[in-house]
Chains A and B, each alone.
Chain A
Amino acid sequence: MKKNRLYLFGGLLLLAFAGFSFTTFTDSMTPYVSYQRARQGDRIVQVAGALEKGSYSYAEAKESLYFTLKDPKTKENLRVRYKGVKPGNFEDAISIVAIGRYDDKTKEFEAQKLLVKCPSKYQGAEVKTYS
């Protein structure tokens, strides 16, 4: 039947799309990793850390922001370069998540996106005085 063939075609198309979505999904996954793992520079990852005080600067010639992230647990440092507009709340952040890839030539983590977290300040999580 012609109709059955149509269903088959539609089903195959859906299947193909599901496959395409799945591979794209795994390709664009950005796992959270340690700085050590990030330094392998083999894929896009995300790293988190605290902004090292006073490490932020804007380099005009390279059109980039530079700063250092510090892992609160291991006390390791990671130099980050970000080509973009400095996010609001930046200096105030208790934690910054950088998504990108480590560049072995410059020894810098090249961030494509930054997530700035400053929850305690505005969520008032620590204000609990009532019993």
Chain B
Amino acid sequence: MSHVSSYLSHLFLPGALALWCAAIFALATMWGYAEALATGQDGAKVFARRSYGFFAFSIVLTAAMMSLLLMMRDFRVEYVYQYSGMDLPTYYQFSAFWAGQKGSFLIWLFWGALLGLLVRRTAGPNEPAIMGVYTLTLMGLVFILVRENPFVMLGKTPVDGVGLNPLLQDNWMVIHPPIMFIGYAASAIPFSFAMASLWRRKYDGWAERAFPWALGGFLVLGTAITMGGYWAYKTLGWGGYWGWDPVENASFIPFLFGTTMIHGLHMERARGRYRRANYVFAFLTYISVLYGTFLTRSGVLADFSVHSFVDLGISGWLTLLLGGFTLLGLFLLILRWKEIPTEPNEDPFLSRGTFMVLATITILVAAVVITAGTSAPLLTKVMSNPSQVGPSFYNRVSLPIAILIALLLSLVPYLSWRGNKFSEIARKMIYPGLFAVAVTIAAAVWKVHDVFHLVFILLATLALATNLQKTVGKYRVSGLRGAGGYLAHVGVGVILLGIIASSGYDESTKVTLTQGVPRKVGDLSFTFQRFIPRHGFEKERMEVLVSRPGQKPFLVYPKLFMNLRTKQTMANPDVRTTLFQDLYVSPIDFDPGQPRLQLAKGASGRIGDMDVKFTGFDLQAQGNAMVAMAAGKPVTIGAKLAVTRGGKTVDLEPLYQLDPASGQVKTPPLLLPGGGALVVSGINASNGAVQLDATGVASPMKLSVDVTRKPLIQLVWFGLYIIILGGGLSMVQRLREVRVRERVAEAKAGRKAA
């Protein structure tokens, strides 16, 4: 008993209680649906629905409790202590929510529970089985959290938390992860429809109902991946938007499987084909989400990924979850495989059906190859020492795949289900073909001389042009209805062009700029104007003037700043976007012009022509600092200095002001007699040392930057927007269809009853 009470006393009970309730209501939901299946009673179904409602409510409550603890900065709770801190602004408390494993499972569960309320409404007659499987997928996450409780308390009350990883302190990181988790949660929906259909032998109708969900998951995942890429590009400063890192791949693989699923479902809807394959696609999409989570969250890749997590005891549970659902899916697939009704393939070669098959196989191959690459450390572990494959693997393998995809895409708009003659297609393709040839020649004249790249550009442009032609044609006939798919394909063509131009033909130069001295990079001239110190939440920035003869000069502000808590240097690039290219200026190194001084009490050092002696901190600079600290009020500390310059010694006291409530630090520069200024750039309370930065005293400041020109990179983002728009149109269309069919069915049932 004492064991139990000691366990309980280390939990934040309201939160833990909400979580336990969720587990109980999840069980009740499943029991209710099982009863409904066994007896066919409506009462059991009503019970199950109500239980699900309570389950969803408990999960929302659990998440609300966690947010509240973070907002209140209740550091008694281990999770809050680990990921939050006093200096973290309130809106970053949301990032802290999903910074750790437990929190990310909680947000996943949160979306899953909410989506379930909608799934129930769209499930139709097979609701008990569908919701049973769906609740089971959530149940796994609930049990992981019950075991690895996020509400564990430390047993003491620290005054401050460890703080949030500075890389996550970014606006994109506030919204990118939760959207990703909506996508993850949504992937369980088509899976549940498929498994329930196999289980109950209801092979008809699941595909239609799952179709809008599959499209929705595809869209959300696509949006999240776009945002992640955008974040990497705009803030990380390594110059790209995609690095084939395991964490990135973990979201891209389900996206590819999801793409095969929506094409498969389209085939089933239009032609009654692909009925077996769609079960496999729904299975693979969900399992790949679990597998990706397993790879990135279990610690197996800890030595291989930039942002993989170390194992915190969850890996065993994740393995169980992954293994359990894989076995369940495989079992049902094998058991029912022979029973699933199929249509024989009688499509002629040049027909839309055959090309859809080829396209899905190609995407499937891409997904499998990327999965293999991401799993390399696991695959090679068996043989010898674990190895990973570099980005070159993915880049080389994807080039032929992309070329094939572009080829298939460019023909799709002219193919009918019945089949076509080649001459007929060729005639229709004259104008788009001429356009593609013109673009390819232009590219060759510009600077593309690689044959593969030229073929790539030819086919990508062709795909773009033919699909655009068809989109416009469809729009003229029936409005936006039915144009979504073609529009999405236009986006694929646009992206392919953007990728090849921006990553194959970018030009990068590294230069070191001395303050005030212009340097030429190509036809541009760069001048490092000044260093702008931290001001409020605005980080330290460098102002660089960029000018070109005959054009208006402009300023860019790359940032290289110190995270005050961890004392790490962080770099943010600045991007100047024009119609045809991005100018990407990424800071590499900043030399403030003299060695920064770190002085312990009583020590002296030299900055430029000055001798500086640190005699101690002044805690009475503006009121008593200790009293203010204890009260959580703004604290001002002075650094007592004796500065000797040109034989004369003066006592100076630059200030360091900290507002614990907002985490804001102010370090007003103190002007020095004889020119220049001094700033207290940091204080170290544990060893009583001070860090001083001087400006304008010694040698000039220098800034090293990487200047990259990325042609046509806008096309990557533009293409992604088009795909998302096209997918959205399709989803609206499929939802409308489901609704119309339901109304027809209702009308029929009504007539019968009358």
Known interface pairs A88-B167, A88-B568. Does A32 touch B239 (Cβ–Cβ under 8 Å)?
no
Which of chain B's residues have a CB closer than 8 A to the CB of A29?
Answer: 376, 380, 387-389
- Shortest distance in angstroms between B738's beta carbon and chain A's nearest beta carbon? 34
Known interface pairs A24-B396, A130-B155. Does A119 touch B569 (Cβ–Cβ under 8 Å)?
no
Which of chain A's residues have a CB closer than 8 A to the CB of B571?
Answer: 85-86, 88
Which of chain B's residues have a CB closer than 8 A to the CB of A27?
Answer: 392-393
When the two chains form the complex, which single residue of B99, B361, B393, B704 contacts A122, counting CB atoms closer than 8 Å?
A: B99
- Shortest distance in angstroms between A21's beta carbon and chain B's nearest beta carbon? 5
- Shortest distance in angstroms between B705's beta carbon and chain A's nearest beta carbon? 9
Which of chain B's residues have a CB closer than 8 A to the CB of A84?
Answer: 238, 588, 706
- Shortest distance in angstroms between B545's beta carbon and chain A's nearest beta carbon? 20
Interface range for B = 35 or more
Q: Does B427 lie at the interface of the complex (its beta carbon under 8 Å from any beta carbon of A)?
A: no
Tell me the complex Cα distance, A58–B511, Å.
12
Q: Does A63 lie at the interface of the complex (its beta carbon under 8 Å from any beta carbon of B)?
A: yes
- The answer to whether A31 and B310 have CB atoms under 8 Å apart is no
- The answer to whether B373 and A25 have CB atoms under 8 Å apart is yes
Q: Does B478 lie at the interface of the complex (its beta carbon under 8 Å from any beta carbon of A)?
A: no
Which of chain A's residues have a CB closer than 8 A to the CB of B566?
Answer: 89, 92, 121
- The answer to whether A25 and B10 have CB atoms under 8 Å apart is no
Which of chain B's residues have a CB closer than 8 A to the CB of A48?
Answer: 303
- The answer to whether B373 and A44 have CB atoms under 8 Å apart is no
Tell me the complex Cα distance, A29–B162, Å.
37
Which of chain B's residues have a CB closer than 8 A to the CB of A83?
Answer: 510
- The answer to whether B390 and A28 have CB atoms under 8 Å apart is yes
- The answer to whether A86 and B81 have CB atoms under 8 Å apart is no
* Binding site secondary structure of chain B: mixed
Which of chain B's residues have a CB closer than 8 A to the CB of A116?
Answer: 306
- Shortest distance in angstroms between B16's beta carbon and chain A's nearest beta carbon? 13
Q: Does A123 lie at the interface of the complex (its beta carbon under 8 Å from any beta carbon of B)?
A: yes
Which of chain A's residues have a CB closer than 8 A to the CB of B372?
Answer: 21, 25
- Shortest distance in angstroms between A74's beta carbon and chain B's nearest beta carbon? 16
- The answer to whether B306 and A122 have CB atoms under 8 Å apart is no
- Shortest distance in angstroms between A15's beta carbon and chain B's nearest beta carbon? 11
When the two chains form the complex, which single residue of A10, A91, A124 contacts B162, counting CB atoms closer than 8 Å?
A: A124
Q: Which of B371-420 contact A (CB under 8 A)?
A: 372-373, 376, 380, 384-393, 396-397, 400
- The answer to whether A122 and B162 have CB atoms under 8 Å apart is yes
Closest to A124 in B: B82
Q: Which of A74-110 contact B (CB under 8 A)?
A: 83-92, 97, 99
Closest to A112 in B: B390
When the two chains form the complex, which single residue of B306, B384, B392, B704 contacts A58, counting CB atoms closer than 8 Å?
A: B704
Tell me the complex Cα distance, A21–B370, Å.
10
Known interface pairs A123-B100, A123-B312, A127-B154. Does A113 touch B237 (Cβ–Cβ under 8 Å)?
no
- The answer to whether B82 and A123 have CB atoms under 8 Å apart is yes
Tell me the complex Cα distance, A86–B589, Å.
8
Tell me the complex Cα distance, A40–B606, Å.
45
Tell me the complex Cα distance, A30–B567, Å.
32
Q: Does A131 lie at the interface of the complex (its beta carbon under 8 Å from any beta carbon of B)?
A: yes
Which of chain A's residues have a CB closer than 8 A to the CB of B677?
Answer: none
- Shortest distance in angstroms between B406's beta carbon and chain A's nearest beta carbon? 16
Q: Does A4 lie at the interface of the complex (its beta carbon under 8 Å from any beta carbon of B)?
A: no
Which of chain A's residues have a CB closer than 8 A to the CB of B290?
Answer: none
Closest to B373 in A: A25
Which of chain A's residues have a CB closer than 8 A to the CB of B501?
Answer: none
Q: Does B305 lie at the interface of the complex (its beta carbon under 8 Å from any beta carbon of A)?
A: yes
Known interface pairs A25-B376, A124-B162. Does A30 touch B239 (Cβ–Cβ under 8 Å)?
no
Interface range for A = 35 or more
- Shortest distance in angstroms between A93's beta carbon and chain B's nearest beta carbon? 9
Known interface pairs A6-B349, A29-B389. Does A131 touch B6 (Cβ–Cβ under 8 Å)?
yes
Tell me the complex Cα distance, A31–B238, Å.
24
Which of chain A's residues have a CB closer than 8 A to the CB of B167?
Answer: 88-89
- The answer to whether A92 and B568 have CB atoms under 8 Å apart is yes
Q: Does B88 lie at the interface of the complex (its beta carbon under 8 Å from any beta carbon of A)?
A: no
Which of chain B's residues have a CB closer than 8 A to the CB of A90?
Answer: 568-569
Known interface pairs A17-B365, A25-B373. Does A121 touch B387 (Cβ–Cβ under 8 Å)?
no
Which of chain B's residues have a CB closer than 8 A to the CB of A10?
Answer: 358, 361
- Shortest distance in angstroms between A22's beta carbon and chain B's nearest beta carbon? 9
Q: Does A1 lie at the interface of the complex (its beta carbon under 8 Å from any beta carbon of B)?
A: no
When the two chains form the complex, which single residue of A21, A63, A130 contacts B153, counting CB atoms closer than 8 Å?
A: A130
Q: Does B338 lie at the interface of the complex (its beta carbon under 8 Å from any beta carbon of A)?
A: no
- The answer to whether A130 and B388 have CB atoms under 8 Å apart is no
- The answer to whether A119 and B387 have CB atoms under 8 Å apart is no
- The answer to whether B567 and A119 have CB atoms under 8 Å apart is no
Tell me the complex Cα distance, A31–B380, Å.
9
Known interface pairs A84-B238, A88-B166, A88-B167. Does A129 touch B155 (Cβ–Cβ under 8 Å)?
yes
Which of chain B's residues have a CB closer than 8 A to the CB of A85?
Answer: 237-239, 571, 586-588, 706
- The answer to whether A97 and B568 have CB atoms under 8 Å apart is no
Tell me the complex Cα distance, A84–B185, Å.
37
Tell me the complex Cα distance, A25–B589, Å.
35
Which of chain B's residues have a CB closer than 8 A to the CB of A14?
Answer: 361, 365
Q: Does A12 lie at the interface of the complex (its beta carbon under 8 Å from any beta carbon of B)?
A: no
Q: Which of B305-326 contact A (CB under 8 A)?
A: 305-306, 309-310, 312
Which of chain B's residues have a CB closer than 8 A to the CB of A17?
Answer: 365, 400
Known interface pairs A24-B393, A25-B376, A60-B512. Does A32 touch B156 (Cβ–Cβ under 8 Å)?
no
Q: Which of B688-706 contact A (CB under 8 A)?
A: 702, 704, 706
Q: Does A33 lie at the interface of the complex (its beta carbon under 8 Å from any beta carbon of B)?
A: yes
Interface centre among B304, B389, B390 (most CB of A within 10 A): B390
Tell me the complex Cα distance, A88–B232, Å.
12
Q: Does B78 lie at the interface of the complex (its beta carbon under 8 Å from any beta carbon of A)?
A: yes
Interface centre among A28, A44, A46, A116 (most CB of B within 10 A): A28
- The answer to whether A91 and B568 have CB atoms under 8 Å apart is yes
Q: Does B642 lie at the interface of the complex (its beta carbon under 8 Å from any beta carbon of A)?
A: no
Tell me the complex Cα distance, A2–B391, Å.
40
Closest to B572 in A: A88
- The answer to whether A89 and B99 have CB atoms under 8 Å apart is no
Q: Does B165 lie at the interface of the complex (its beta carbon under 8 Å from any beta carbon of A)?
A: yes
Which of chain A's residues have a CB closer than 8 A to the CB of B164?
Answer: 122
Which of chain A's residues have a CB closer than 8 A to the CB of B309?
Answer: 119, 123
Q: Which of B552-570 contact A (CB under 8 A)?
A: 566-570
- The answer to whether A127 and B166 have CB atoms under 8 Å apart is no
Interface centre among A10, A87, A125 (most CB of B within 10 A): A87
Tell me the complex Cα distance, A10–B706, Å.
46
- The answer to whether A127 and B568 have CB atoms under 8 Å apart is no
- The answer to whether A125 and B376 have CB atoms under 8 Å apart is no
Tell me the complex Cα distance, A41–B330, Å.
45
When the two chains form the complex, which single residue of B155, B302, B385 contacts A119, counting CB atoms closer than 8 Å?
A: B302
- Shortest distance in angstroms between A32's beta carbon and chain B's nearest beta carbon? 5
- Shortest distance in angstroms between A116's beta carbon and chain B's nearest beta carbon? 7
Tell me the complex Cα distance, A46–B317, Å.
30
- The answer to whether A32 and B589 have CB atoms under 8 Å apart is no
Tell me the complex Cα distance, A90–B562, Å.
12
- The answer to whether A60 and B704 have CB atoms under 8 Å apart is yes
Q: Does B152 lie at the interface of the complex (its beta carbon under 8 Å from any beta carbon of A)?
A: yes
When the two chains form the complex, which single residue of A6, A32, A91, A99 contacts B386, counting CB atoms closer than 8 Å?
A: A32
The interface of chain A, by Cβ under 8 A from chain B, is 2, 6, 10, 14, 17, 20-21, 24-25, 27-33, 44, 46, 48, 58, 60, 63, 65, 83-92, 97, 99, 112-113, 115-117, 119, 121-125, 127, 129-131
Some 24 contacts from A to B, beta carbons below 8 A apart, are A2-B349, A10-B358, A10-B361, A21-B397, A24-B397, A25-B389, A27-B393, A28-B389, A29-B376, A31-B386, A58-B588, A58-B589, A65-B588, A85-B706, A90-B568, A112-B390, A113-B390, A116-B306, A117-B302, A121-B162, A122-B99, A123-B82, A123-B100, A127-B82
7 extra interface residue pairs, beta carbon distance < 8 Å, beyond A31-B384, A46-B388, A124-B82:
A25-B373, A63-B510, A88-B569, A91-B567, A122-B162, A123-B100, A130-B155
The interface of chain B, by Cβ under 8 A from chain A, is 6, 10, 78, 81-83, 99-100, 152-156, 162-167, 236-239, 302-306, 309-310, 312, 349, 358, 361, 365, 369, 372-373, 376, 380, 384-393, 396-397, 400, 510, 512, 566-571, 586-589, 702, 704, 706
